[in-house]
């Protein structure tokens, strides 16, 4: 059958369960957009910036568990997508990106000129470091092969984004679909599984531990092993810490949930991992945000067991002077399943009684609550009081799309999730402006779930144009704007390193902001403002009772930062504001590092 190539692409995407494609129109992408428009079962969504489209495609995959897809035109359209592609790369999100390109007879080739065709840009070498696979189509008869290969590579092993660059003249060419060559993988995918010996070694180390901790990462969700991870933790009665990407695996009130850890973790979480004598991490990349620096200071007296599908993530530990006791290249689901089976065969009763250790962790949580009592008496909005009340008032099935900076740190420390609530963020790229286009994708992909967009004032300005996309599609997103007059987290860094001199991080030091309420009203939003702790509970209840989209400006004093936060040069258990030395030492079951003596008190 003769078919226009762009029509074939639209049909391929629809047949792979993609119901929405994020497309910014342009001369080199117009044929694909029109083919999507005419294809039943799929809808093009047109944001106002390719960066937003790339981020939305990433989020669409996170929500659905299937491929997300975004299309951009050549030149600036393609380069605008790079930040969104990078977010999918660092978080291992399978996403398909398609870029239009100038016609094949206008490609510069080996001529040596910078550009021959109008808006010609060599996107392939630009995205090679942040994609699993990228290719420029040069033969229309290979369209089926390249699409099938891209989808396969995106989802195989450690997932990630892929990109196909398609010249304009090929998009509008016609192909004989019966003659198209398909892609056949070299071998069926076999996700690596741990050996029986490795499982026995894990159980042996757990049995010898008195202060163990189970660390769950986003890889557990990518492997579809959330329920199994919870079963394993409950069978073992082992305390659990999560990376930011795995925060929604355990409810906030679960007795084994010890919280989050790292440079922007909680005191209880950091005392837990740093005092542990055995740390079992599954599907957690353990970036420097989680371990602090140097890597050798992290869980330094613990027997460490790291399970990851990517061997490079395991090699980094000894490369950065943190030897591992067990480094296991394996799929998270296969590992957890094998552990559950082995413990079932041998009996969980043979594991030690860690009740005293769990009591220590509970005591830390009570002694160092995320939301201190003093915060409730403040007349302005305290960010941790906001998180506490948001935890109580948001629907049980709410999806939170959270932007970077203080918004994500406060949320990871303070949100207590329940029911089927989930949190979404581009956890490792943490690009400003991600939350709004991601929330748009969430509202399209999960129309029955309440969608909350939690975004700072600086981050909103990065993709503020997408307010129009929300209103055009009548998406009932609850936008909660945290307005603290600039980049509060960077101001904390300026206080630590640059004597508190602000440059380009506040309204007094070079940043200009609009009247956000008036701006939102100009887009047609129902608006409100919350400026006092006392107004939060009633105000948030009213917001969530409203079925339509809403925009709420929440004013937080500019001086409010992330507490606690680890300053450079300190291990993660010794965060700012520093505890008095005597109190700090009482909490340490392992020897403190000499660097800790820098703290005063």
DSSP classification of residue 130: G
pLDDT at res. 114: 93
The predicted pLDDT at position 57 comes to 98
196-367 classified as CATH 3.40.50.300: no
Q: What is the mean pLDDT of the chain?
A: 95
CB-count burial class (<10 Å; 0-12, 13-18, 19+) for 488: buried
Place of tokens 């010890």: 258
pTM metric for this prediction: 0.96
In this structure, what are the phi and psi dihedrals at residue 69, rounded to the nearest 5 degrees? -145, 135
Mean pLDDT of 207-224: 97
pLDDT of amino acid 599? 42
Residue 387: per-residue pLDDT: 98
Paired residues of 456 in beta bridges: 482
Token pair 């992909």 is found at 445
Residue 174: strand pairing partners: 4
Q: Give the pLDDT score at 598.
A: 45
Instruction: Provide the residue ranges of all domains of the chain, joining segments of one domain with +.
Output: 2-179, 196-367, 373-555
The answer for residues whose C-beta is within 8 angstroms of residue 248's C-beta and 6 or more apart is 417, 421, 422, 423
The percent of residues in the chain predicted with pLDDT above 70, rounded, is 98
Q: Which CATH superfamily is domain 2-179 in?
A: Thiamin diphosphate (ThDP)-binding fold, Pyr/PP domains (3.40.50.970)
The reply to whether 196-367 shares the fold of 2-179 is: yes
CA 58: distance to chain centroid?
Answer: 10
HSE on the CB side for 535, CA within 13 Å?
15
**Which residue from 150, 18, 27 is spatially nearest to 100, judged by alpha carbons?**
27
- The Cα 367–Cα 2 span in angstroms is 71
Tokens of 267: 């005191």
- Rounded to whole angstroms, the maximal C-alpha distance in the chain is 79
The Cα–Cα gap between 209 and 213 comes to 10
CATH architecture observed for domain 373-555: 3-Layer(aba) Sandwich (3.40)
C-beta of residue 336 within 8 angstroms of C-beta of residue 220: yes
pLDDT for the residue numbered 347: 64
């Amino acid at each position: 059958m003769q078919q226009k190539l762009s029509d074939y692409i639209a049909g391929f995407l629809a047949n792979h369960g993609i119901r929405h494609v994020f497309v910014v129109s342009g001369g080199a992408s117009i044929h694909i957009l029109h083919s999507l428009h005419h294809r039943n079962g799929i809808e093009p969504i047109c944001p106002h910036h390719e960066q937003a489209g790339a981020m939305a495609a990433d989020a669409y995959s996170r929500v659905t568990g299937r491929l997300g897809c975004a299309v951009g035109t050549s030149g600036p359209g393609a380069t605008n997508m790079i930040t969104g592609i990078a977010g999918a790369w660092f978080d291992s999100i399978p996403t398909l990106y398609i870029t239009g390109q100038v016609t094949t007879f206008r490609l510069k080739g080996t001529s040596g000129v910078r550009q021959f065709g109008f808006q010609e840009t060599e996107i392939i070498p630009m995205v090679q470091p942040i994609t699993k696979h990228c290719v420029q189509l040069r033969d229309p008869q290979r369209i089926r092969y390249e699409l099938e290969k891209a989808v396969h590579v995106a989802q195989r092993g450690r997932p990630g984004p892929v990109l196909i660059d398609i010249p304009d003249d090929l998009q509008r060419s016609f192909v004989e679909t019966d003659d198209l060559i398909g892609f056949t993988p070299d071998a069926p995918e076999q996700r690596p599984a741990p050996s029986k010996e490795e499982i026995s070694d894990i159980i042996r180390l757990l049995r010898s531990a008195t202060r163990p901790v189970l660390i769950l990462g986003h890889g557990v969700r990518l492997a579809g092993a959330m329920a199994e991870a919870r079963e394993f933790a409950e069978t073992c009665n082992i305390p659990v810490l999560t990376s930011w990407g795995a925060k929604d695996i355990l409810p906030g009130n679960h007795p084994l949930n010890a919280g989050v850890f790292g440079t922007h973790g909680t005191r209880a979480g950091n005392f837990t991992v740093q005092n542990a004598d055995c740390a079992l991490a599954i599907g957690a990349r353990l970036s420097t945000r989680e371990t602090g620096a140097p890597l050798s200071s992290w869980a330094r007296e613990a027997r460490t067991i790291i399970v990851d599908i990517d061997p490079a993530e395991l090699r980094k530990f000894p490369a950065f002077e943190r030897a591992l006791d067990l480094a296991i290249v394996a799929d998270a689901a296969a590992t957890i399943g094998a552990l559950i089976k082995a413990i079932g065969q041998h009996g969980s009763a043979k594991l030690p009684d860690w009740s005293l250790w769990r009591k220590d962790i509970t005591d830390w949580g009570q002694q160092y609550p995320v939301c201190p009592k003093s915060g409730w008496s403040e007349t302005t909005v305290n960010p941790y009081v906001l998180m506490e009340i948001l935890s109580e008032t948001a629907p049980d099935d709410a999806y939170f799309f959270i932007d970077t900076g203080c918004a994500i740190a406060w949320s990871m420390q303070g949100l207590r999730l329940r029911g089927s609530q989930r949190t979404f963020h581009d956890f490792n790229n943490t690009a400003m402006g991600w939350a709004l286009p991601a929330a748009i994708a969430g509202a399209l992909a999960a129309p029955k779930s309440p969608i909350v967009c939690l975004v700072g004032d600086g981050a909103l300005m990065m993709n503020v144009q997408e307010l129009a996309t929300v209103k055009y599609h009548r998406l009932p997103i609850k936008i909660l704007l945290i307005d603290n007059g600039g980049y509060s987290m960077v101001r904390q860094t300026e206080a630590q390193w640059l004597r508190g001199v602000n440059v380009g991080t506040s309204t007094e030091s070079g940043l200009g902001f609009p009247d956000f309420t008036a701006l939102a009203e100009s887009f047609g939003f129902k608006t409100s403002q919350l400026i006092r702790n006392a107004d939060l509970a009633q105000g948030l209840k009213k917001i969530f009772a409203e079925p339509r989209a809403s925009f709420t400006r929440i004013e937080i004093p500019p001086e409010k930062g992330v507490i606690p936060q680890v300053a450079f040069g300190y291990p993660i258990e010794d965060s700012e504001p520093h505890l008095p030395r005597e109190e700090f030492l009482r909490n340490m079951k392992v020897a403190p590092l000499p660097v800790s003596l820098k703290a005063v008190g």
